[in-house]
Every structure is written in C-alpha cells, then in structure tokens.
Structure 1
Amino acid sequence: MGGEEILVGYDGSPDAARALDWALDEAGRSGRPVRLAYVFEWLTVAGWIGPGVAPGVWPDEQARQQVETLVHKAAADAAAAHPDRTVTGEVYDGPPALVLQERSADAGLLVLGTRGHGGFGELLAGSTAVTVTAHAHCPVVVVRDGTTDQARTGHVAVGVDGSECSLLALGFAYEQAAARGVPLHVVRAWQPPSGRWGPPDVDVDSAAAAERADVEESLGRWRASFPDVPVTVEVAAGSASSLLVEASRNAALVVVGTRGRGGLRGMVLGSVSQQLLHHAHCPVAVVRER
C-alpha cells in the first residue's frame, strides 16, 4: 500500500479538515506522503463578477497568496502534529473535477470531504463528486460529516457482485482490513426471480447458495494473500444500497467499485452510490480500474 502519495482536496473548510484527518490516519498505516491540493477555478470565479469586468481581475495575486498561505500552514501544522509523516501543500488552477482527475494519475489515493467552499463548494450537491469518483485514476475516499466519529477499529465492508470493478474493490478492502487489523465483511446483493416473468421452478435456497459459492470463489486468491484477516460473507436478497448502508454501521470504511452488474450496476453513476455517499455511516471508498 506504500509508495504513491495520498492527495487531499483541501480548502480550509471543516469537511476538508475531516478529509485531511482521515488521510493523515491512513498515512500513519501506509507510510505514504500526504499532499493537500487547493483548486482555484479562476474563470468561474471571474464570471461571477458580472459583465464589463476583465477575466482574471479577481481573485488577484494577493488573494492567491492568501490561499497559498492557508494551504502551506495547514500542511505545516499537520506535519508538526504528526512528525513521522510527510505533508505538503499545493495550489492548482482550473476546474476542480478536471484538476483532481489529472492529479489523481500520480496519486495512490484521493481523499475528499463532502462539502466545502472555494473550489469544492457543495461537492455532493452537483456533479463534481460523481465525476471525480467515476473518472479518477486512483481510489477515491469520500469522508462525510459525522462518519469519522465511529470507532476506528470497526470492520471494513465491501460490495462484491463478481464484476471486474468489484473484484478490484475487494482487493482494496482486503488491504485496508489487513492494514487496520480488523475483520472484512463481504456483501453480495441479489434479486430472486419473482412474478410472472420469473422461472416457476426456481429454488431460492439453491440460488442463494450459488451466489455464496461465487463469492467464496472470488475470495480464494485474497484469503491466501491475507490469511490473518477474518472474513464474514453476507448474501442477501434486496437492494445493494440498503445492504451496504446497513453494513457501514460501526464500520471503519465501506468499499465499492465504479461499475458492476446485478445488484451493484451503476454503482457510481446511479442511485446506489448516491445512497452510500449521503447515508453511509462511515467513509466511502470508490475503486476503479487504472
């Protein structure tokens, strides 16, 4: 898990501070350096001024220097509080989602708060979070307000449906559970055939057993790599979002892939991810292929 840096979307807001706290905690386990990234959207901000004002007049250089001071002070304070960790800060220009996506190509992990000000205002209210989680080149962790109050020793939960993205999420979740020294809880949601369109001779118990066997097969490789990680498997009929939100109770982290099939289809771009990002009881990690 070491090597590539942890990139934190930072703007000085309380949610950004929570994201930074999560990243510093992760850095303590992985040994990765932490970089704070403030994204200045010059053109958008200039456009707010109104007609007759030349682009780029505001924010001026003094405002930018204030932002640089903010970011560098936050990085210095974090480094002073955690002398065993490397923390730096940087200010970037451009559209927040695009800049974060580009910077994520050189990162091992991107950490965001849910809401902020400046370049990250109303992060989950619009398209920025969906765009970043769907297209970032590394796993993205979204830290919601109140989710870091849970005991950090809670389990790691992961949604697995057999798709390639969910198997990548499973690997990430196993690494997180091993690094934290906590159990892994694997969730498989499925929908039994029902109504006149379902086969009349379906054995629900046999179908559920087949789903569990498929999950166990996916776990085989990782059980060998992480034999000390206790694993529980939950195979249940129902909504993937409901099962994963419930699994996030008292968890340290819940992990999903960007795209799946069956119960996890549309995980990032559809309703399931929105339910998790708004209602999970712990931080949410979204993992996609590089």
Structure 2
Amino acid sequence: MRDAEILVGYDGSTDASVAVNWALEEAEHSGQPVRLAYVFEWLTVASWVGPGVAPGIWPDDTARRQVDDLVRKAAADATAQHPGLTVTGEVYDGPPALVLQERSADAGLLVLGSRGHGGFGGLLAGSTAVAVAAHARCPVVVVRDGTAGGTDGPVAVGVDGSEQSLVALGFAAERAAQRRVPLRVLHAWTEGPSAAAGVSGEQAAVEQAVEPWRQTFPELAVTVDLVPGSPAAMMIEASRTARLVVVGSRGRGGLAGMLLGSVSQQLIQHSGCPVAVVRER
C-alpha cells in the first residue's frame, strides 16, 4: 500500500514532532499523503467544587478546541515547510492505542513517537508505542527524540529466515533504494563448537534471500553480515550507525501466540535510530 497515507500519532510533544518530521521526509521520497492523528480520550471524571454546584467533567469543550487548533496548526506548518506534500490533521475520540490500531488498517505506514507528554494532550507512552506496534495492520516506525539516525548511515535489517523477516527485508530494501543509501543485512548466529560449521550454510541462505532485491535494485549497495550473539544486541549495536533499523514483528524464536517479538520490543526501547516493525498484512 505504497499509495496509502502515512498516519502519524501526534500530541504536540517533542517526540511526536520528531515523528512528524520523519514522516514528512518519508513522504518526500514516496509521494504519500500525510495525516496527523491526535487521539483525544475524554476523561469522565467528575470533580466536586462546592455546595450547590454541579460536578464538572474534565476535559471540557475548551480543551477540545485547543486540541483542534493544535492539530490544525501543526498540519499547516508542515504544509508550509513541504509545499509539494498533502498534509492533513484530524482529531479522533477514544483510547489512543485502540484508535491508532483501527486507523492503521487503511494506512500505508504508521509513525509514532516513543513517548508523549502528560495532561489532556498525552497521547503516547512507551507502553502505547509497543502496543500499537504489536497490533497495527501496517508497518510501524517508532521515532524517539535524540535518535534521528545518521543521515548517511545505512538501512539495517535483521533477517532470520522467518516469513516476517523476509517481509522486513523487502521493506528495508525499498527504503534504502529510495534514499540511495546502503542496505546492511544482519543475521545472528549462536556461538559454540558445532555452530561454526553451519555458518557458511546460513550465509548462503541469507544471500539467497537478498538476491531478488539485488536484481530489483541493481544500484543498491548491499552487505550481508553474520554476527555471533543475540539478535537484539546485534540490532541495537547496528542502530548506532544506521539511519533506520528494520525488523519483522516476530522472528523464528518467537512463541506462536506472540504478536511482537522480544527483539522488536527491545529495539523500541533502546535503539539509537528510528525502528521499523514490519509484518505481513
């Protein structure tokens, strides 16, 4: 769904603003429209203010108007800075994680800040980003303030042979080709007396998975690295020099019922650059 819109979770926080900037850069390459989505969760908490005075409900209509103004201004500012893009803003009502998951069904990509701020504008916390990445129906990119990634760094992708990782490989190859940066394909293997003998076979399997993308993007510089140790440690280390790290939502080692693997969760919390969590639709 490359022609579908890029949906951005927005609440006015610093992390959300960084996520918007990342989404706008993505749209510059892809031509996709961008929609800023503020999810407004009404709190039906009554407060007693005194004898003979009816309890009040917060937030009130004034707070909702402030949210509308915030989103409208953010969309207008983005349009002014990127006049060739279509940028809109919309306010939705309901629990943030659930609303974003539902809206992701019609999106080509969902971009989130890793953590929002508190108060009536609070949209994203770390747990919300993880929940959305676990249940969204499109690829999810999580961007944290201070982890914009290297502008000249590669797109790094973890491949373990699972179907989800092969989908992630395609996503990563497309982004690297669009940005004209190298693609770094990583595969983790477990050290041990008998493991070394199987490394050459694993290398051949990864190269075989990469070959169709070499043919699709012949100008793309691709390196394949087999790294001893845990997949999470490998990807977190790669994130220090990458502009984007890409993983499948759940790899080979995941339990059948898990929607988001441990590698994806650890990257969302510790990556040094934006993280894309990709699953097959």
Q: Same fold (TM over 0.5)?
A: yes
Match of 1:280 in 2: 271
Name the structure 2 match of 1:198: none
Secondary structure in 1 matching 2:227: strand
Find the counterpart in structure 1 of residue 184 from structure 2: 185
Specify whether residues 173 and 132 from structure 1 end up closer, same or farther in structure 2 by C-alpha distance, changes over 3 A only. Answer: same
1:205: how far off? 3.0
Note the 1:1-290 alignment, pairs <5 A.
2-42=2-42, 45-47=43-45, 49=46, 57-117=57-117, 118=120, 120-121=122-123, 123-124=125-126, 126=127, 128-148=128-148, 150-192=149-191, 202=194, 204-262=195-253, 269-290=260-281
Give the letter aligned to residue 71 of structure 1.
V
Is 2:37–2:91's contact at 8 Å kept on the other side of the alignment? yes
Instruction: Give the 3 Å change call, closer, same or farther, for CA 210–88 of structure 1 in structure 2.
Output: same
* In 1, Cα distance between equivalents of 2:66 and 2:192: 59
Contact residue 3 and residue 32 of structure 2 kept, 8 A: yes
Letter in 2 for 1:142: V
Return the alpha-carbon distance in structure 1 between the equivalents of residues 15 and 139 of structure 2. 19
TM superposition shift of 1:59: 1.9
Contact 1:104–1:138 (CA under 8 A) maintained in structure 2: yes
Q: CA RMSD in A?
A: 2.5
Moved more, 61-70 or 32-41: 61-70
Give the partner amino acid of 2:6: I
Matched-pair contact (CA < 8 Å) for 1:245–1:279: yes
Q: Partners of 1:164 and 1:235 in 2: how far apart?
A: 19
Aligned-pair distance for 1:272?
Answer: 2.1
Higher mean C-alpha deviation, range 173-182 or range 263-272:
263-272
**SS at structure 1 position matched to 2:85:** coil
Partner of 1:105: helix, strand, or coil?
Answer: helix
Tell me whether 264-273 or 3-12 shows the greater mean CA deviation: 264-273
Structure 1 position 167, deviation (Å): 0.5
TM-score normalised according to structure 1 size: 0.88
| Residues 119, 62 of structure 1: alpha-carbon distance in 2 compared, 3 angstrom cutoff | closer
* Amino acid paired to 1:276: L
Please give the alpha-carbon distance, in whole angstroms, between the structure 2 residues aligned to 1:56 and 1:230: 61
> CA separation of 1:267/1:227 partners in 2, compared to 1, >3 Å: closer, same or farther?
farther
| Distance in 1 separating the partners of 2:10 and 2:252 | 34
C-alpha distance in structure 2 between counterparts of 1:92 and 1:74, whole Å:
16
- Measure the CA separation in 2 of the matches of 1:7 and 1:76: 16
Contact 2:104/2:138 (8 A) holds in 1? yes
Whether the aligned pair in 2 keeps the contact of 1:174 and 1:184 (CA below 8 Å) is yes
TM-score under structure 2 length normalisation: 0.91
For residue 145 of structure 1, report the CA deviation from its aligned partner: 1.7
Q: Which amino acid aligns with 1:156?
A: V
2:160, 2:174 → 1: CA distance?
19
Q: Which amino acid aligns with 2:239?
A: S
Partners of 1:55 and 1:94 lie apart in 2 by 22
Distance 1:147 1:267 in 2: 27
Distance 1:71 1:243 in 2: 38
Conserved in 2, the CA contact under 8 Å of 1:153 and 1:180?
no
Partner Cα distance (2:197, 2:14) in 1 = 49
On the 8 A contact 2:8/2:19 being kept in 1, the answer is yes
Superposed CA offset, 1:152-206 (max 9, x none): 2210000000111000000000000000100000110122456xxxxxxx3x332
**CA-CA distance at 1:210 after TM superposition:** 0.9
**Residue ranges of structure 1 left out of the alignment (5+ in a row):** 195-201
Distance 1:154 1:32 in 2: 23
Question: Quick one: percent identity of the two aligned structures?
Answer: 64
The letter of the residue matching 1:46 is: T
The count of aligned residue pairs is 276
